[in-house]
Amino acid sequence: MNVLGVVPARGGSKAIPRKNLASIAGRPLLAYTVDAVRASRRLTRVVVSTEDAAIADAARALGLEVPFLRPVELASDDTPMLPVLQHASRALARDGFAADAVVLLQPTSPFRRAEHIDRAVDLLESTGADSVVSVVEVPHPFTPVSVLRLDGERLHPYLDGDTVARRQDKPRLFARNGPAVLAVRTRVLEEGSLYGRDSRPLLMEAAESIDIDGPGDLALAELLLGGGRLQVPYRRPDEYQKVDVARLRPGDSYKQLIAKRTHPIDELVRAHGRIPDDLLTPRPCPTCGCAAAALELEKDHMRIVRCTACDLVYVSPTFDEAHYKTVYRSAEYQDIVRDLGISSHEYRVQRFGLERVDIMARHLSAVRPRMLDVGCSTGFVVEAARDRGWEAVGLDLNPSAVEYGRRRGLDLHAVALEDAGFEPASFDAVCLFDVLEHLIEPVRTLRACARLVKPGGIVFLYVPNYDSASRLLMGRDAHFIWPTHHLNYYTPVTIRDLLRREGLRTEYLATEGLDLVDYLWYRREVHGARDEGVEAIADLLQFFVNAGAYGKNLRVIGRRI
Ligand SMILES: [Zn+2]
């Protein structure tokens, strides 16, 4: 299907002048619709329809196409939307672009996301309906059986008969939420209708449906999208728990891991001296979809680039998805994980599992939370949660790690998230520890996790911190810069941006790491240096590194709004 997105952005607006450029959390309102458009898979082309030259310039600066200026007679306060969409679709048809469907994207809906657009177009296609429009459930006090009218000075039921008090006796009713998304077939528009006869609903949450109409809505959006500056929780030095490196990395397992780190490409490099070009495919930015990127560094015969639009650092080109599946299922990788994971499982439960469960518990109100750990390895967090009385489930693609956890009585499964068959909104917390950095399409997995979380529930994730002391001290030699396996490199800023784009509000961000341990190890193993002075104060130094958000492991909790 050829799908044309139309963003109507008039300059004139009664309540807020140039509302579409009003600032929310430091960005123009229009930018939030641009984020959704960029990440959408289903829009073939997107144009802005405006009569205002300043808005046209701003839209172009954000990367949107403005192929025409809207005639002023279609830009008054009472112009209906139908002729605006007809005008846009006809203008492009004259230009050789025939759309099968048009998607109206009001910039006044900053909480509408790419997944809503894609679900609306998918639904339009699969049902054959005339249109799909986003709706929000009408809050029960506002249903017609509850509302009242004024008769003189007295209140009367709006409908004849008594008002209905019991919530379960009231009908479920829906209202168009802006609409944030309207996908309509071009044929229906040409027949003179905006919705046609067969219109289907795309249900959105109340918080996703906020429509920026007046200054009060702007203030609310500022609160939800901005939330002030990034906050790093302060911890006292005596709360800082040391890590027993000998127990975490028993024997020479860590040295083995680093020695074997290029195992998937060793054969190729031996045979060809490099990775053959036909095995690699360039990819757009995995957060924002922008194709423009600048080279950041090269390592292990692969390139790491930085997105010019959103600043994310990521590997491009990459192998295809099948390659990575093979790598993670390979005996060699499973051996690495088994050696590191199983030998330290009990230590990990006590040192890391309980710590992670405690952090989550502070952000959950359920008495017996239901938690899912995606990429659970041997299940050391699942075990800690179970021991606290939680209902805890884990998924991992490594059968030997899962088998180990199952023998300990844990509810682990060696299946992919998309094959697990969980109900939407069925978990209080979904965890992604050390997962997103491995994925070609991290948004797909994060989105799937966000949908499994109940509204008000949390996603808790760990990723390596690209802006960490490890990277600043060791540069490209930092161990986590591992482009054959780590495809995405987040910072406190870019991870928060990613969560926001998926409807998750960051409410906790902390870093902790073994930056100093790793740095001293590197100095000793690679450069033969002796750093007794630094070694003596390494733990204290690490405390300050963590407190400043420069620790190697970035921990983030995003709440589903
Ligand atoms: Zn980007």
- What was the pLDDT predicted at 82? 97
Provide the pLDDT confidence category of residue 150 given band limits of 50, 70 and 90.
Answer: very high
**Ligand 1 center from residue 314 Cα (angstroms):** 9
Q: What is the mean pLDDT of residues 334-345?
A: 75
The upper half-sphere exposure of residue 86, i.e. CA atoms within 13 Å in the direction of its Cβ, equals 15
Say how many Å lie between the CA of residue 128 and the centre of ligand 1. Answer: 34
Residue 179: cis peptide before it, omega within 30 degrees of 0: yes
**Predicted confidence (pLDDT) per residue in 177-207, tens digit:** 999 999 999 999 999 999 999 999 999 999 8
- Ligand 1 centroid from CA 430, angstroms: 25
Out of 16-25, 28-37, 41-50, 246-255, which region has the weakest mean confidence (pLDDT)? 246-255
The alpha carbon of 141 and the centre of ligand 1 are apart by a number of angstroms equal to: 42
CA of 295 to the centre of ligand 1 (A): 14
Give me the pLDDT at residue 230, please: 53
User: Is residue 119 scored above 80 in pLDDT?
Assistant: yes
Compute, in angstroms, the gap from residue 324 CA to the centroid of ligand 1. Answer: 22
Q: How far is the CA of 309 from the centre of ligand 1 (A)?
A: 5
User: 335 CA to middle of ligand 1, Å?
Assistant: 35
Q: How far apart are CA 315 and CA 323, in angstroms?
A: 15
Asked if residue 374 has pLDDT above 90, the reply is yes
Please state, in angstroms and as integers, the Cα–Cα distance from residue 202 to each residue in 124, 125, 548, following that order: 10, 13, 43
- The per-residue pLDDT for 235 is 63
Cα(140) to ligand 1 centroid in Å equals 41
Banded model confidence at residue 312, pLDDT cuts 50, 70, 90: very high
**pLDDT attached to residue 116:** 95
Of the candidate ranges 70-74, 314-318, 326-330, the one whose mean pLDDT is the lowest: 326-330
The average confidence (pLDDT) of the chain is 89
- In three-state secondary structure terms, 334 is helix
135 Cα to the center of ligand 1, angstroms: 30
pLDDT of residue 143 exceeding 80, the answer is yes
Lowest model confidence (mean pLDDT) among 305-309, 327-331, 500-504:
327-331
Rounded to the nearest whole angstrom, what is the distance from the C-alpha of residue 501 to the centroid of ligand 1? Answer: 12
Residue 39 Cα to ligand 1 midpoint, Å, equals 10
How far from chain centre, in Å, is Cα 424?
16
Give the whole-angstrom CA distance, residue 313 versus residue 343. 33
Rounded average pLDDT over 130-134: 98
Residue range 500-506: average pLDDT? 90
Beta bridge partners of 416: none
Give the distance (Å) from ligand 1 centre to CA of residue 287.
5
**β-bridge partners, 372:** 393, 430
Considering only CA atoms, which of 405, 404, 397, 401 is closest in space to residue 375?
Answer: 397
Measured distance CA(228)–CA(507) in Å, rounded = 11
User: Which pLDDT score, from 0 to 100, does residue 239 have?
Assistant: 63
Lowest mean pLDDT among 78-92, 143-157, 440-454: 143-157
The residues near 499 (Cβ < 8 Å, ≥ 6 apart) are 446, 459, 505, 506, 556, 558
Centroid of ligand 1 to alpha carbon of 306 (angstroms): 8
Report how far residue 88's alpha carbon sits from residue 1's, in angstroms, rounded to the nearest whole number: 17
Q: What does the DSSP assignment read for 339-365? A: HHHHHTHHHHIIIIIHHHHHHHHTT--
Q: Is 161 helix (H, G, I), strand (E, B) or coil?
A: coil
Could you tell me the pLDDT band of residue 11, with boundaries at 50, 70 and 90?
A: confident
Cα(320) to ligand 1 centroid in Å equals 20
Ligand 1 mean position, distance from CA 256 (Å): 34
Tokens describing residue 40: 């959408």
Per-residue model confidence (pLDDT) at position 24? 85
- Ligand 1 centroid to 355 CA: how many Å? 32
Q: What is the 303 CA–ligand 1 centroid distance (Å)?
A: 16
Go through the chain and tell me how many residues it has: 561
The reported pLDDT for the residue numbered 141 is 87
**DSSP string covering 217-235, please?**
HHHHHHHHHT-SS------
* pLDDT on residue 238: 66
Tokens for 437, please give them.
Answer: 């950095």
Q: Tell me, in angstroms, the distance from the centre of ligand 1 to residue 455's CA.
A: 27
Residue 258 has pLDDT above 80, yes or no: no
Q: What is the pLDDT of residue 429?
A: 97
Ligand 1 mean position to 286 CA, how many Å? 7
Average pLDDT over residues 55-81: 92
546 pLDDT exceeds 80? Answer: yes
Burial class (CB in 10 A: 0-12, 13-18, 19+), 349: buried
Q: Which of the four pLDDT bands, split at 50, 70 and 90, describes residue 534?
A: confident
Contact 360, 458 (CB under 8 A): yes
- Tell me, what's the pLDDT at 504? 92
Greater confidence, 512 or 84? Answer: 84
- Distance, CA 396 to ligand 1 centroid (Å)? 28
What pLDDT does 554 receive?
94
Ligand 1 centre and the CA of 437: distance in Å?
Answer: 15
How far away, in angstroms, is 477 Cα from ligand 1 center? Answer: 24
pLDDT at position 6 is 98
**Residue 253: per-residue pLDDT:** 65
Q: How many CB atoms lie within 10 A of CB 138?
A: 16
Token output for 29: 């309102």
* Of 211-215, 233-237, 429-433, 545-549, minimum mean pLDDT range: 233-237
**pTM (global) more than 0.85:** no
- Does a cis peptide bond (omega within 30 degrees of 0) precede residue 284? no
**Residue 288 structure tokens:** 């924002």
Cα 285 to averaged position of ligand 1 atoms, centre (Å): 5
- Residue 15: pLDDT band by 50, 70, 90 thresholds? low
User: Sorting pLDDT into bands at 50, 70 and 90, what band is 236?
Assistant: low
pLDDT of residue 105: 97
Q: How far is the CA of 486 from the centre of ligand 1 (A)?
A: 17
